[in-house]
Structure 1
Amino acid sequence: MSETKRIWGTLDPFFEPGPVLGRRVANVRFLHALLERDPFAEYHFFLADRGQTDSLRRHLEGTGLPGTARCRYFDRRELPSRLEETDYHCFHLSDCITTQPALARLRNRHSREIFPVTGTIHSLSYANYGAPFLRHLWPGATGRDAIVCSSGPGRRVVENLFCWLRESFDLPPETPAPTLAHVPLGVDTDALTPGENRTDGGPVRLLVFGRISHHSKMDLLPLVRALHRLVSDGLDPTSVELVLAGWGDDNDDFLPTLKDYVANVGVGLTVALRPTEAEKTALFRSADIFVSIADNPQETFGITLAEAGAFGLPCVASEYDGYRDIVVPGETGLLVPTVGPDATPDVDELAPLLFDNQYHLLLSQRTAVEIPALAEALGRLIASPALRRDMGRAARTRVEKRFSWATVIEQYLALWNDLWAHPTDADALRETDHPMDMPYGRLFGHYTSRVLGPDTVLKAGRTGDAFYRGKDFPTLYSGMTMTIDPEIARKLVFLARKPIDSRTLMGKLMRVEPSLDANVVTNHLLWSLKHDILERVE
């Protein structure tokens, strides 16, 4: 591990414009917190296109964060050469699903040192995720690679995925896989702070913040049923107000139905769709209890619970997914028991043929948040301002210690350092191909009349002669500038003044240019053939 100049790399912008969703918020806040802490000499972004680069550059330049001045932006096609030239401390990806194994393969082949490659989990329940996780199980995976799980239950899902995939594909139990690390998501505890204690004497406000949809995150009807149970047992309906806020569609049929149910119970209802950050802060600071009864496997961590804790709110939450990591029952809030299936054969076979919202609805509707226990938890906190105050203070303290972004970044820094301790054999990894990466030459080589072989005889073409004398210039497309060097093509013309077989031609060029490998030279031969710089001799 290089100690002189630590460089952090990524393939992702972390910043995505669009709807305010948990994944997008978590990614951009991570990047801001990293650049605020600024532990690296440079930050290298290898992005997919110029649009991504320009968008991220503009965004970061507007933040004034300390590390922004040392951010460097590269075309992703530069990766092989940069990996050969640069000793990276680590690469971190905003999602473990898309490119992590491919990046590890590229690192194994080109980098002098096997640096850590890490990627984060988000939602894990999509029907097509078997293939992306299967890609992680391959001979080139090392202990220095890690999937970063935001919650303990999320980590267990990944463990279950690997176990299921090994069994399904008859892979040996020792098939290499990335390390599974546990680092939570964070919240900005400096910006999210408790408001003044409410003194208006109004109803107790129950805040629900998230996606307002019966097929995403949580079904809210059990909450309405629990409130109805409390009112039936004597609770004054005017003493409670339900506030629903977050992402939702104005034309969703679910919201009018929900409003009708709440009206029948008699409690007050406020709906705030797509609030701004300022409006969101005001909603949290004016609330008394935060309620989240997740029942959908899309949820993995539950960042809104950590945000509620930062605002000093006690939580009533379902005992589900990562909520267990955030809420300490009886101390920072109350967890409500849930009941679900241990097998889902009907959904398993249908899910690949359905839209995401369709099979997530089928799954969530067989996950029960126990309504009697939910009513009891709500009633207990509604009745006791002192308990709400004590739990809210404890929640704020816990979030400061465990879930502030400053704390989370320190955990990442420790993880990247610790991963270097895993032993690796770089030489054994160099030529390890990934079994799911397409070998295009092998698969499509028969499309052409012939393949370039060692005995193929070549000579300078007419364009090549003119190019060598400076009277013609080949067209080099922008997407090829990092692959083809016209000066190498010019040397090929010189070496092929007379007919010469490709084996001998390649050998002569590699003696002149020792830094070139056989693959690079072959690419130049074929490109030169394509552009009449060389021509084949029968």
Structure 2
Amino acid sequence: MIGIYSAMLPISNKRADTSEFVGVQVACREFVKNLAQYSPAGDVGLFVSQAEVEQTRRALALLQSVDGGNTDTASVWEFEQIGEAIQQRDITAFHNILAPQLHILAYIRSKFASKPFPITALTHGFSVQPVLYEFFTRYLLTPTQPYDSIICTSNAAKCAFIKMIGHARESLEATGCRIPDRPCRFDVLPLGVDINNYQPQNRAIAVRQLGLPPNKVILLYFGRINHLTKADLNPLLLAFQNLVEKHGDQIVLLLAGNATPVEVVSIEAFCRRLGIADQVVLRPSPSLLEGPLYYAASDIFVGLSDTPQESFGLSILEAMASGLPVVVSDWSGYRETSEHGRTGFHVPTLWGKADDEVALFSPLINWKQDDLHLEQSISTDLHFLTHYLDLLVSNQDLRKGMGDAARQHCVSNYRWENVISQYWALWNELASIATSRQHPEYPSTLPMGDQPRYFEAFSHFPTRCLTTSDHLTITERGLHAAKTPQSMIIHDEMRGVLSQRAMIALLRFLRFRKSLKRSVTVDELVVPFGKRYHFSPSRLMAHILWLIKYGHMTAAQQT
């Protein structure tokens, strides 16, 4: 039996047409459903608190009645029954679907197991400061075994997780703690997608059912709409403005995903400012049942990520399974799930060492604000974003060919049946290693962690990183902002972090250098602007990266 540890199984007891899930909840919900569907009878045990037993059983029944999955093979156990279950059943492994917290499973194994078995845990997002202690310090102080594994959903996530462990180790050892090496494995297994629920459908019917404008090329963003914790959509709106100048009213941008009223007001105001409000459709409360219809009604999927929290991208799988070409950020796991030039396009991303102040104060501020500060220094190339979208808008045959390739890519690599088979293969491999091993003991005290080093851990996520030798050039948008500073749009939460006065000065300096037909390197700005505005190199870099993100300047590597 596979034991699934879950402090609370992330399956809502609401109806599926009114639920408000986020990515992690959807991933866990689908994992449990398909693990039960594709595992041998009686081989999945869900362990929850006594108060959650009935809710979990109702949630499993709801999955079966609404989604049609077979969850009868899953049994529900109280935590107080863990010892009984381990003694009665042959445990292949214990798995944590919610977070990479092996210490909980190690505790279960040390207290109740008469023979060793593997423990595994799945990573989701892990870039925020509060998890330094919960994930990484606890990991270092848990005596893991060669048959234990942290399972990452992408190679990018695996690399970042190992870096974060290294940072935590350095911090602890600097205080005199002696941290032994841990033999735990790091394996990469993807999440999956329901290829029957997400598949090409009659587009005209889907458009009509959702009340969308007919006879338009529809570009879809589907995901949580939150500039604090998901993605800043303003650069996408800037690129769409460029497309409207060429294609007029033949295109529509559809933004669908859970959004707060404040977020809706902000996006609508930005669209009016750009003159594209009539061609942007905002749907802030799509249901799970409507999800496949939004993909079916659309022609192109756009998935942009600018946060280290994003390590995989479920919506990309859903779009590809639905037969849509995908235009996504060349970022983290996004670049691993789709294929550039075959299933769609990867848009180059840029980041730089701009996290010194963010990291210094991260233990003191809300992690969402922390995430926003990082996000505002990570940019997606507006030129290539506009170019790739234009190629697909202009060429129906290209859309069809890439959409078909995307569907086949999903069927071959990400159908849940294959993903669950990979999990079972890993668990069986680890269990075979465990059979000859001794059962370990575990510590009871854990020290605290330290401040994060975001850029060091996640610098491999973007296409490339901005360097001090890069040449900066002002754009037409930047020239306009230098002349009319009020046209510069800055999120309210960033006004105390970004100096508009300094950025206008930067743009005007670049404008002057352009008049002399000379570019400027980042390094040339460090001393004069650092002295004038009391900027550290990291803070100056944050301002430059924001200007690049919003299309006010471009950066080119030295040739």
Shorter-normalised TM-score: what interval? 0.7 to 0.9
1:171-226, CA deviations, whole angstroms, 9 ceiling, x for partnerless residues? 77861153111111111101111123669972211001111122222111111211
Question: CA RMSD, aligned part only?
Answer: 2.5
Q: 2:324, 2:247 → 1: CA distance?
A: 22
Matched, 1:433 2:443: yes
Task: Provide the residue aligned with 2:190 in structure 1.
Answer: 184
Q: 2:31, 2:141 → 1: CA distance?
A: 29
Q: 2:220, 2:294 → 1: CA distance?
A: 8
Correspondent of 2:105 among 103, 125, 132: 103
Contact 1:153 1:321 in 2 (8 A): yes
1:397-430, CA deviations, whole angstroms, 9 ceiling, x for partnerless residues? 001111111111011111101112436875461x
Q: 1:190, 1:278 → 2: CA distance?
A: 13
Q: Secondary structure at the match of 1:169?
A: helix
Matched, 1:210 2:208: no
Contact 1:87 1:113 in 2 (8 A): no
Q: 1:393, 1:185 → 2: CA distance?
A: 21
Q: 2:69, 2:248 → 1: CA distance?
A: 51
Matched, 1:371 2:382: yes
Matched, 1:419 2:425: no
Summarize the Cα distance change of 1:73–1:224 in structure 2 as closer, same or farther, 3 Å threshold.
closer
1:134 is matched by which residue type in structure 2? T
Summarize the Cα distance change of 1:346–1:315 in structure 2 as closer, same or farther, 3 Å threshold.
same
Q: What is the Cα deviation at residue 34 of structure 1?
A: 1.2
Q: 1:261, 1:178 → 2: CA distance?
A: 53
Q: What is the Cα deviation at residue 54 of structure 1?
A: 0.6
Correspondent of 2:268 among 256, 280, 296: 256
Summarize the Cα distance change of 1:403–1:427 in structure 2 as closer, same or farther, 3 Å threshold.
closer
Correspondent of 1:243 among 254, 260, 263: 254
Q: Secondary structure at the match of 1:53?
A: helix
In terms of mean alpha carbon deviation, does 131-140 or 71-80 score higher? 71-80
Q: Secondary structure at the match of 1:55?
A: helix
Q: What is the Cα deviation at residue 27 of structure 1?
A: 0.8
Task: Provide the residue aligned with 1:300 in structure 2.
Answer: 311
Could you state the TM-score of these two structures normalised by the residue count of structure 2?
Answer: 0.71
Q: Secondary structure at the match of 1:186?
A: coil
User: Counterparts in 2 of 1:100-139, with a 5 A limit?
Assistant: 100-132=102-134, 133-138=136-141
User: Counterparts in 2 of 1:395-414, with a 5 A limit?
Assistant: 395-414=406-425
1:485-510, CA deviations, whole angstroms, 9 ceiling, x for partnerless residues? xxxxxxxxxxxxxxxxxxxxxxxxxx
Contact 2:10 2:29 in 1 (8 A): yes
User: Counterparts in 2 of 1:7-406, with a 5 A limit?
Assistant: 7-12=1-6, 13-17=8-12, 19-50=20-51, 52-62=52-62, 63=64, 68-98=71-101, 100-132=102-134, 133-138=136-141, 140-170=143-173, 175-196=181-202, 202-232=215-245, 235-252=246-263, 253-262=265-274, 264-265=275-276, 268-406=279-417
Q: 1:352, 1:320 → 2: CA distance?
A: 26
Q: What is the Cα deviation at residue 53 of structure 1?
A: 0.9
Q: 1:382, 1:42 → 2: CA distance?
A: 48
Q: Secondary structure at the match of 2:47?
A: strand
Summarize the Cα distance change of 1:352–1:362 in structure 2 as closer, same or farther, 3 Å threshold.
same
Q: 2:226, 2:258 → 1: CA distance?
A: 9
In terms of mean alpha carbon deviation, does 58-67 or 104-113 score higher? 58-67
Q: Secondary structure at the match of 1:251?
A: helix
Q: 2:61, 2:302 → 1: CA distance?
A: 37
Contact 1:121 1:150 in 2 (8 A): yes
In terms of mean alpha carbon deviation, does 412-421 or 174-183 score higher? 174-183
1:305-328, CA deviations, whole angstroms, 9 ceiling, x for partnerless residues? 000001000011111121011110
Bigger relative CO (Cα 8 Å, ≥ 6 apart): 2
2:196 is matched by which residue type in structure 1? D
Contact 2:268 2:277 in 1 (8 A): no
Q: Which runs of 5+ in 1 are unaligned?
A: 1-6, 439-538
Q: 1:34, 1:418 → 2: CA distance?
A: 18
Q: 2:439, 2:25 → 1: CA distance?
A: 38
In terms of mean alpha carbon deviation, does 12-21 or 346-355 score higher? 12-21
Summarize the Cα distance change of 1:47–1:270 in structure 2 as closer, same or farther, 3 Å threshold.
same
Contact 2:99 2:123 in 1 (8 A): yes
Q: 1:423, 1:168 → 2: CA distance?
A: 32
Contact 2:123 2:152 in 1 (8 A): yes
Contact 1:285 1:311 in 2 (8 A): yes
Q: Secondary structure at the match of 1:339?
A: strand
Q: Which runs of 5+ in 2 are unaligned?
A: 13-18, 206-212, 449-559
Q: 1:224, 1:70 → 2: CA distance?
A: 46
Contact 1:310 1:396 in 2 (8 A): yes
Q: 1:437, 1:115 → 2: CA distance?
A: 27
Q: 1:69, 1:95 → 2: CA distance?
A: 22
Could you state the TM-score of these two structures normalised by the residue count of structure 1?
Answer: 0.74
Paired residues in the alignment total 426
Contact 2:330 2:349 in 1 (8 A): yes
Q: What is the Cα deviation at residue 286 of structure 1?
A: 1.0
Q: 1:139, 1:357 → 2: CA distance?
A: 29
